[in-house]
Amino acid sequence: MSGLTLLEVYLNLQKVGKNVLLAVCDCDLLGRTLKEGKIVFQIKPEFYNGRKAPLDEAVDLIDNSTIVNLVGKNCVEKAIAEGYVHPDAVLNIEGVPHAQIMKL
């Protein structure tokens, strides 16, 4: 399909002790602070910005990660579509979806 834009996200993959931590956020959210009620959620570049990557690649990395943080409509919807996240487990902060996966 011509004119199709490749969706990119910021991802940061790191080993923390025995865990593999994957942080993914939609590109337009990096650096933002979301506030809703008592929740203040900072999308910190030092946590999420390892590199820019295609959305498919970021979601594929979930398989080998033990802790996953996802912020943004694109990456959370893709993780739901791939069966990694249950829709009821998604928290919306200021209308922005956020999901966490922990494999213990």
Mean of pLDDT values over 17-36: 97
The 8-class DSSP code of residue 64 comes to G
List, in order of start, the domains of the chain with CATH numbers. Answer: 8-102 (3.30.1860.10)
Q: What's the CA gap between 75 and 22, in Å, rounded?
A: 12
Does the pLDDT of residue 44 top 50, yes or no? yes
End-to-end alpha carbon distance in the chain: 40
Mean of pLDDT values over 80-86: 97
Sorted by sequence, the CB contacts under 8 Å of residue 95 that are 6+ apart come out as none
The model's pTM is 0.92
